[in-house]
Amino acid sequence: MDEVQKNLKHNFIVNMVDAIFFGMGIGISSFNTVIPLFVATMTNSATLIGLIPAIHNTGWQFPQLFTAHRITRMPRFKPFVILMTIQERIPFLGLAVVALLSPKIGPTASLVLTYILLIWQGMGAGMTANAWQNMVSRIIPSHVLATFFGLQTGASNLLSSVGAVIAGFLLAKMQSPGSYALCFVITFGLMAASYASLSLTREHKKPDLTVDNSHADFWRNVITIMKKDEPFRWFIISRNAFQFGMMAQAFFIIYAIKVLKMNLEAAGILTGLLFFTQVLANPILGWIADKWNSSNVIKGGAASIGLASLLAYWAPDPSWFYLVIILSGTASTAFWTIGIAKSLEFGTEEEKPTYVGLSNTLIAPSTILAPLLGGWLADVSGYSTTFLTAAMFATLGVVIMQIFVKDRGKKALQA
């Protein structure tokens, strides 16, 4: 603990700078707007467009359980993080090349290459994610962990909002595909700066494990956790329902543009509003989760996306989508930031990588299936059906959390 306190200021600064550069890069090449719009120049399929954030999110989630055994045995997480995070950054340079070559190679080849790069990027993020979360939990004291995640993500989203507005301007003022290529190149440069800052993290070495568990022991422990830890099991089920509740997010801005005739500059502003909402929501919800009850924060997030979907269903014109996006950003914060912090509440020090892996890998199928379902419903029955179905799943997530998932060591809210 003395080592944690000694390096706390340094680690806080370098990880915040990492988040700032990373966030601005993601804003300029957003998985919810810029990349879907780029893909929309090659296909009209709502299903394929809906896959974009799903590939990113599934790639981030799915590998985490499969890296858990390896990283549990590591005395330091940072070397693994630094090695694997390269894989989530290089693909943006590849996307720039595809954008520039797309007029020559045609839409089909461009589409195939784009999805290969998106899968590479997502899997690179997933190979990094478990070790990164555990590294952060080691360098940041546990009683302020959710607050830190909130501040870090809030800073990232603040710069993402700036990046999104810049992207909207570039897309409106420049011709495609050059505008998309420039967005991807700028993102790659910002990712390189983010990487340099992350590499400065100081992580203390933990004592060697007293028991050298085999792979068989690890998987037996996984089965034991899922059988005996009932609150955690219901937490996983509720996160799956919440994930299906968020399937409408990929279609909010596409619907506003294609059906309600919103212009591209307004779409860029909406993307900026999404990130700005998360800037405010992340530190606020993180503080509430640390001081009060993380389960209630997650329930509030599920309720927010349910309401956002209903408002999108009722919306007579694009102006309604400003509120839709605010609610959507709040829901994303609760699902991702508070979900990450809550998954670190379970298990002992040695078990945390396993719990983190389970809490992400076991919702990966929902992450890929939810937007596929949403896109299929949009193709065969219209976006309104997608929005109503998402609202129903969000409600189910709230009900499951309310009945079955309780915080461990619940605290009273303090001023």
Does residue 104 or residue 253 have the better pLDDT? 104
The pLDDT assigned to 205 comes to 81
**Sequence-ordered list of residues with C-beta below 8 angstroms from that of 85, at least 6 positions apart, any chain:** 124, 125, 128, 132, 195, 198
In this predicted structure, the answer to whether residue 388 has a pLDDT above a threshold of 70 is: yes
The pLDDT assigned to 299 comes to 94
The pLDDT assigned to 211 comes to 53
**Sequence-ordered list of residues with C-beta below 8 angstroms from that of 256, at least 6 positions apart, any chain:** 262, 267, 270, 315, 318, 321
Domain ranges of the chain: 2-203+213-404
pLDDT confidence tier of residue 162, bands split at 50, 70 and 90: confident
pLDDT confidence tier of residue 173, bands split at 50, 70 and 90: confident
Q: Is 225 exposed, middle or buried (0-12, 13-18, 19+ CB in 10 A)?
A: middle
Q: Choose from 160-174, 206-220, 352-366 the range with maximum mean pLDDT.
A: 352-366
Dihedral of CA 15/18/19/20: which sign?
A: positive
Contact in structure between 392 and 305 (CB atoms under 8 Å): no
Query: pLDDT tens for residues 124-148?
Result: 999 999 999 999 989 998 888 888 9
> Which of the 8 DSSP states describes residue 44?
-
Q: Is 180 exposed, middle or buried (0-12, 13-18, 19+ CB in 10 A)?
A: buried
In this predicted structure, the answer to whether residue 245 has a pLDDT above a threshold of 90 is: yes
Q: Choose from 26-35, 128-137, 187-196 the range with maximum mean pLDDT.
A: 187-196
Which phi and psi angles does 182 have, rounded to 5°?
A: -65, -40
Interatomic CA distance for residues 409 and 292, integer angstroms: 10
Q: Choose from 88-92, 230-234, 363-367 the range with maximum mean pLDDT.
A: 88-92
CATH number for domain 2-203+213-404, candidates 3.90.950.20, 2.60.40.1730, 1.20.1250.20, 1.10.260.40: 1.20.1250.20
In this predicted structure, the answer to whether residue 76 has a pLDDT above a threshold of 50 is: yes
By mean pLDDT, which of 13-17, 187-191, 303-307, 361-365 is the weakest? Answer: 361-365
Q: Is the peptide bond before 177 cis (omega within 30 degrees of 0)?
A: yes
Which is nearest to 239 in space by CA: 392, 401, 387?
401
> Which of the 8 DSSP states describes residue 335?
I
The pLDDT assigned to 51 comes to 80
Query: pLDDT tens for residues 334-372?
Result: 998 899 888 888 877 788 899 999 998 999 888 888 878
Mean pLDDT of the chain: 88
